[in-house]
A and B are shown apart, each in its own frame.
Chain A
Amino acid sequence: MFRSLPFTASAFTRSYATKLNKYPRPKPGTAERPAYHAPDPLNNNPQAVVTALPENDLTFIHRPPPTAPSPHSLTTNPVSPLLRPSKSKEGVSLPPPSRPRFAREPLPRASPQTMSEIKRLRALDPGRYTCSVLAKKFSVTRGFVQSIAALKKSQRRAKRREQEAVADKARGEWSEKKTTLMLIKAKRRELW
């Protein structure tokens, strides 16, 4: 089989040695990729309010800046929607949830019987019926079990001490490099 010449090759047949989009080469002094032209933010913007002024043959576009809102709010004009009467805006498409976990459907509400059963089991044997075990058993979240069936202050303090001892033991076995990295991580967390 003869190797087809570039200028006779059709755009959709590939040969082994050549890459079709190598030619035509960009002119010297220009970039391989085309220049980036940012889209006009006023064009087709859902936040922009367009008013036509036909007598002067003008279009007035009001688009508030998309920066984060400042916390300067007044009681007469609050920034937070929590302080304003809730109004339902039908058909507004919302951005996707930030994590796939948040896109899951919420679990069905637990019945009062389930709640009392959870409380009973947790009080019976907190070591055996931990929050995770109960959450799996009754298909609720661990935080829900924690909020409805909290342990007594003394029990919580004892458990905390045990957990701290386990964590301290683990931290003692870290190498110097790991300790440094964990401290850096903690400092970054502090600066959030």
Chain B
Amino acid sequence: MVYGGVSRAVKTLRAVSASHLPVFPPTQATKSSFDPQTWGQLQPPPSTALSAFAHRIGLGAVLTDTDDILKACTHPSILSLAPSSSSQPIETNAHLSTLGNALMGLFATEYVNATYPYLPTRVLKAAVTAHVGPQSCANAALEMGAVPLLRWAPKASSSAVSWTPQTPAVQRTDALASIPRALTALVYHHRSLPSARQFVHSYFLLSRQVDVRSMIKFVDPKKALKEMVAKFGRDPPKSRLLKETGRFSNSPVFVVGIYSGEDKLGEGFGASLKMAEYRAAEASLLAVYLTRRPPDDLNLPTDTFPRGLGDIFAEDAENEGDYLPPDLPHAEVMYASGGRSGRIASEAS
């Protein structure tokens, strides 16, 4: 353990177990060009550690080959440290990570869309990022205990200088985030898409609470509500004063409700009438946007994929008819569409 004044170089060091090496110290240690730090970073963790990791995350039966697990834990940036003249090329998780990222995006998007059918698209994207984005994947890797198994380097490639726009420095978060993505791809390879979905659901979707409400920001909620009510074919919204106190004092309070005909869509309070109307419009919009589907009623499109190994396009006879597509709700109101609606002033009308 090193206390106080820990240098950056020391922080990137990983404890290297010498027991699994055939020869220690390594034969190239006698050469003058040998750098022990680089050698340490390149060393794979022992296969027992990899196997223990697989069992710890519940994939002991799926990932039986420790080479696969090692590949999943090796970030492509390690190749910047590897000597060009090496007998065994290091296998990295570049392809696995890309595939896994696509799969996780798919599962998260369908889950969030099914759970919140009325959520605006930009909020849906933010929620998906919160569930399976780089930071969440890195946190999951930390929780899984993949940190001592990760092999990476801060440089993108061996020829790169410290940082350029074309070769930005690799962040530890990105390197860690590649591990769960690679694991998802491995589960997809060794089992099936529904199994990969189960992995992603258990680690990222069902076990993580995301505050969707804080992601919804309004520019003009009254205008948005007006357009939404028109889309639903109801009476235009009208704000009505429910309660007030201290109107001409220095601390008035107004409670305003927004009504569509006789139905109260939302209520808001404020220190001025405008503020109360603004908040009432926000409450009315949130009441629609944050409508959830109960978890038992969720019908995800990936339910249509067959459970076992084999052709994913094959029809699954036993699960035929299980998936019932839900009714699509009213499409999102794009009120700030910037003149693309076609209603432009023109001389020839």
Segment of B20-28, B102-110, B119-127, B263-271 engaged in the interface with chain A:
B263-271
Q: Which of B259, B264, B275, B291 counts the most chain A CB atoms within 10 A?
A: B291
CB pair B278–A124 under 8 Å, yes or no, is no
Distance of A158 Cα from B156 Cα, bound (Å): 44
A residues within 8 A CB of B294?
74-76
Nearest-neighbour CB distance to chain B for A45, whole angstroms, equals: 15
Tell me if B164 is interfacial: C-beta within 8 Å of chain A.
Answer: no
CB pair B234–A68 under 8 Å, yes or no, is no
CB pair B259–A147 under 8 Å, yes or no, is no
- Chain A residue with minimal CB distance to B284? A80
Tell me if B178 is interfacial: C-beta within 8 Å of chain A.
Answer: no
Distance of A148 Cα from B341 Cα, bound (Å): 10
From A82, A98, A151, contact of B240 by CB (8 A) = A98
B residues within 8 A CB of A74?
291-294
A residues within 8 A CB of B234?
82, 86
A residues within 8 A CB of B288?
78, 80, 82-83
CB pair A119–B346 under 8 Å, yes or no, is yes
Q: How large is the interface on B (under 10, 10 to 19, 20 to 34, 35 or more residues)?
A: 35 or more
CB pair A98–B345 under 8 Å, yes or no, is no
Tell me if A153 is interfacial: C-beta within 8 Å of chain B.
Answer: yes
CB pair A124–B347 under 8 Å, yes or no, is yes
Nearest-neighbour CB distance to chain A for B6, whole angstroms, equals: 41
CB pair B240–A150 under 8 Å, yes or no, is no
B255-286 CB mask vs A (1 if < 8 Å, else 0) is 01101111111111110010111110001101
Interface residues of chain B: helix, strand, loop or mixed (majority):
mixed
Tell me if A123 is interfacial: C-beta within 8 Å of chain B.
Answer: yes
CB pair B345–A122 under 8 Å, yes or no, is yes
Q: Which of A75, A79, A149 counts the most chain B CB atoms within 10 A?
A: A75
CB pair B347–A120 under 8 Å, yes or no, is yes
CB pair B260–A152 under 8 Å, yes or no, is no
B residues within 8 A CB of A97?
238-241
From B270, B277, B292, B347, contact of A123 by CB (8 A) = B347
Tell me if B89 is interfacial: C-beta within 8 Å of chain A.
Answer: no
- Known contacts A149-B343, A192-B275; A96 and B240 CB within 8 A of each other: yes
Tell me if B290 is interfacial: C-beta within 8 Å of chain A.
Answer: yes
Tell me if B242 is interfacial: C-beta within 8 Å of chain A.
Answer: yes
- Known contacts A68-B283, A74-B294, A94-B240; A82 and B346 CB within 8 A of each other: no
Interface residues of B in 64-94 (CB under 8 A from A): none
- Chain B residue with minimal CB distance to A118? B345
CB pair A82–B228 under 8 Å, yes or no, is yes
- Known contacts A76-B294, A79-B291; A71 and B347 CB within 8 A of each other: no
Interface residues of chain A: helix, strand, loop or mixed (majority):
loop
Distance of A79 Cα from B265 Cα, bound (Å): 9
Distance of A75 Cα from B329 Cα, bound (Å): 11
CB pair B241–A98 under 8 Å, yes or no, is yes
Nearest-neighbour CB distance to chain B for A98, whole angstroms, equals: 4
Tell me if A19 is interfacial: C-beta within 8 Å of chain B.
Answer: no
Tell me if A89 is interfacial: C-beta within 8 Å of chain B.
Answer: yes
CB pair A192–B347 under 8 Å, yes or no, is no
- Known contacts A97-B239, A119-B345; A75 and B339 CB within 8 A of each other: no
CB pair A98–B276 under 8 Å, yes or no, is yes
B residues within 8 A CB of A96?
240-241
- Chain B residue with minimal CB distance to A73? B291
From A69, A71, A94, A150, contact of B213 by CB (8 A) = A71
A residues within 8 A CB of B341?
150
- Chain B residue with minimal CB distance to A88? B262
A69-111 CB mask vs B (1 if < 8 Å, else 0) is 1011111101111110010110010111111001000000000
Interface residues of A in 109-160 (CB under 8 A from B): 116, 119-120, 122-124, 126, 147-153, 156
B317-349 CB mask vs A (1 if < 8 Å, else 0) is 000000000000000000000110101111101
Tell me if B204 is interfacial: C-beta within 8 Å of chain A.
Answer: no
- Chain B residue with minimal CB distance to A143? B223
Nearest-neighbour CB distance to chain B for A65, whole angstroms, equals: 13
- Known contacts A99-B273, A192-B270, A192-B278; A86 and B263 CB within 8 A of each other: yes
Which are the 10 A-B pairs with shortest beta-carbon distances? A81-B263, A149-B345, A122-B345, A80-B287, A123-B345, A95-B240, A98-B241, A71-B286, A116-B349, A71-B290
Q: Can you name 7 A-B pairs with beta carbons within 8 Å?
A: A68-B283, A71-B286, A80-B266, A89-B262, A150-B339, A150-B341, A152-B339
